[in-house]
């Protein structure tokens, strides 16, 4: 399997190179040259299989022979041994045709663990085989940092440096980043905002000698391997509800468009999916885009669902590539418009294609809390605010009654106790991992909002720069 860039000017690469590269050299994102497909019989054959076995079957064609099946299976088994539920991503019924797919049973209580636990092991294996070290530098406003640190702690060939804005993440999120004791974990509180953290990371990646010397690598959702790992739960959940004989729809709480793009990939692979519903909070660039065909970024508003508070959705570029008929020139021109004019417009044909497979619904803050309250009253089920945005979208979207809709639940409600208290008047019981972290010592380095100070800190601690 070869991978090609959405901008058409970077070399086609194999799986391990794409895994270690992240962003393509032409600024584009990598996609498989051709979507692998499963026949109806093959999909039917997944029924009754463990999550881990389905994961091997789904990821195998993407890995393209670069990782032997036994090694891939071992990585997957090891990755999901960190989960607290034996089916990894269980389904819960909340209405006659309404289901919730719980993706939050990993170590940091958010769906990022599902992919990150696999990504870290794949990267470590690839680097060890090449006799190389890598340095991960990332910025986080909350969930990604904890999931990345949890996944990369103690890995042989990788050091991780995570920047977060001092005083601006929740206590639970901060402790997830500051309590791991492994020597390869470096948590940095920047005296600034999340944007400052992101700008520092960008500056480090743009310093090419620095980037090459330290083998800088990224783990955000533009990394193809993360999306690949997320395709799996679309298959396990659809098959559990009767696919391929039965068609299903999904409602997905969307930020960077990674999770829902994995659903699109599942559909391209042959899974009978009717609708993919893009659920957004008031940061609704994607909902507006579906309504108007125009993609225009605006100011970001802070909401109860912070992991969806985005200005632009980087993975949307992958869907654009498909909507334009894989026309890299066209993607380049749209992306140039986005940079120079803050937006772009789809052609009628492209817009029509988009609406053929996707719906979009926006949920405001009051409706998010009301959804949490109503769902609890009707079923006893407590949804986190991100999940509630998608439950609300599933309730409003036009539906075929015979097609069940599966709402992806991306976080455990205990991660957002303040919003839950406002909605229902009590907080969810605290998972044991959160309680335990409360008593552990924290380790963090506070640095000024200054690229040189961070560069100096990273070079002095990273193993990759030595020798
Ligand atoms: C990251 C995240 C999302 C958004 O997922 P994307 O892949 O960026 O669309 C939604 N909910 C939670 C809790 C998240 O952490």
Q: pLDDT tens across 208-224, in order?
A: 899 889 999 888 878 99
Ligand 1 centroid to residue 81 C-alpha, Å? 22
* Token pair 């008929």: residue: 325
Ligand 1 centroid to residue 264 C-alpha, Å? 16
Pocket of ligand 1 contains residue 308 by CB under 6 Å: yes
Pocket of ligand 1 contains residue 108 by CB under 6 Å: no
pLDDT at residue 194 in the model: 83
Count of domains in the chain? 1
In a domain, 119, yes or no: no
Q: Which two tokens stand for residue 26?
A: 């032409």
Q: Which two tokens stand for residue 17?
A: 């190179």
In a domain, 383, yes or no: yes
> 143 and 117 in contact (C-beta within 8 Å)?
no
The verdict on whether 202 is a catalytic residue reads no
For 103-152, the pLDDT digits (tens) are: 999 999 999 999 999 999 999 999 999 999 999 999 988 788 999 999 99
pTM of the full structure: 0.96
User: Which one of 34, 49, 112, 415 is the catalytic residue?
Assistant: 112
For 320-333, the pLDDT digits (tens) are: 999 999 999 999 99
Q: Which two tokens stand for residue 329?
A: 């020139």
pLDDT at 285 over 60: yes
Pocket of ligand 1 contains residue 259 by CB under 6 Å: yes
Pocket of ligand 1 contains residue 253 by CB under 6 Å: yes
In a domain, 435, yes or no: no
Ligand 1 centroid to residue 57 C-alpha, Å? 25
Residue 397 DSSP code: S
Ligand 1 centroid to residue 260 C-alpha, Å? 10
Residue 386 alpha carbon, nearest atom of ligand 1: 11
SS3 state at 445? strand
CA distance 318 to 9: 15
CA distance 176 to 146: 5
For 63-74, the pLDDT digits (tens) are: 989 999 999 999
pLDDT at 270 over 90: yes
CA distance 207 to 210: 5
State which residues form the domain around 405: 91-109+224-424
3-state secondary structure string, 290-318? HHHCEEECCCCCCCCCHHHCCCCCCCHHH
pLDDT at residue 24 in the model: 87
Crossing angle of helices 143-152/171-178, nearest 10°? Answer: 20
Pocket of ligand 1 contains residue 411 by CB under 6 Å: yes
In a domain, 368, yes or no: yes
In a domain, 377, yes or no: yes
Residues listed for the chain: 467
Reported confidence tier of residue 467, pLDDT bands at 50, 70, 90: low
Pocket of ligand 1 contains residue 304 by CB under 6 Å: no
In a domain, 310, yes or no: yes
In a domain, 118, yes or no: no
Q: Which residue, 53, 157, 52, is CA-closest to 114?
A: 52
pLDDT at residue 300 in the model: 85
Nearest residue (by CA) to ligand 1, atom 8, is 256
Domain containing residue 321: CATH number? 3.40.50.1100
């Amino acid at each position: 399997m070869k991978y090609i860039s959405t901008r058409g000017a970077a070399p086609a690469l194999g799986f391990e190179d794409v895994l270690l590269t992240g962003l393509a050299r032409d600024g584009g994102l990598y996609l498989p040259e051709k979507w692998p497909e499963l026949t109806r019989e093959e999909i039917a054959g997944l029924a009754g299989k463990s999550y881990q076995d389905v994961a091997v079957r789904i990821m195998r064609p993407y890995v393209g022979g670069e990782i032997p099946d036994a090694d891939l299976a071992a990585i997957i088994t090891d990755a999901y041994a960190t989960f607290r539920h034996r089916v990894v991503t269980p389904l819960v019924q909340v209405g006659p045709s309404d289901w919730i797919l719980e993706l939050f049973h990993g170590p940091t209580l958010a769906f990022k663990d599902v992919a990150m636990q696999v990504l870290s092991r794949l990267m470590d294996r690839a680097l060890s085989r090449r006799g190389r070290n890598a340095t991960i530098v990332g910025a986080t406003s909350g969930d990604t940092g904890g999931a990345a640190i949890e996944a990369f702690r103690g890995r042989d060939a990788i050091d991780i440096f995570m920047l977060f804005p001092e005083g601006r993440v929740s206590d639970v999120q901060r402790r997830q980043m500051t309590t791991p004791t492994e020597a390869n974990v470096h948590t940095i509180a920047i005296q600034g905002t999340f944007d400052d953290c992101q700008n520092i990371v960008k500056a480090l990646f743009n310093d090419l000698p620095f980037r090459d010397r330290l083998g800088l690598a990224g783990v955000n959702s533009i990394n193809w391997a993360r999306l690949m790992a997320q395709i799996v739960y679309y298959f396990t959940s659809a098959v559990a509800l009767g696919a391929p004989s039965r068609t299903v729809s999904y409602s997905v709480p969307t930020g960077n468009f990674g999770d829902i793009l994995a659903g699109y990939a599942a559909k391209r692979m042959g899974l009978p999916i009717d609708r993919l519903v893009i659920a957004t909070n008031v940061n609704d660039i994607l909902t507006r885009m579906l309504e108007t065909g125009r993609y225009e970024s605006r100011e970001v508003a802070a909401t109860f669902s912070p992991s969806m508070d985005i200005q632009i959705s980087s993975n949307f570029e992958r869907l654009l590539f498909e909507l334009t008929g894989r026309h890299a020139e066209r993607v380049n021109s749209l992306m140039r418009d986005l940079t120079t004019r803050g937006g772009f417009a789809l052609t009628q044909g492209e817009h029509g294609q988009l609406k053929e497979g996707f719906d979009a619904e926006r949920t405001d803050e009051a409706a998010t809390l009301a959804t949490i309250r109503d769902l609890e009253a009707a079923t006893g089920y407590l949804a986190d605010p991100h999940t509630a945005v998608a439950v609300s979208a599933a309730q409003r979207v036009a539906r075929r009654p015979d097609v069940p809709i599966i709402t992806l639940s991306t976080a455990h409600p205990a991660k957002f106790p303040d919003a839950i208290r406002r909605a229902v008047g009590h907080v969810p019981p605290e998972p044991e991992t959160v309680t335990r972290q409360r008593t552990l010592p924290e380790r963090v380095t506070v640095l000024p909002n200054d690229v040189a100070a961070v560069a100096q800190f990273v070079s002095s601690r990273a193993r990759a720069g030595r020798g």
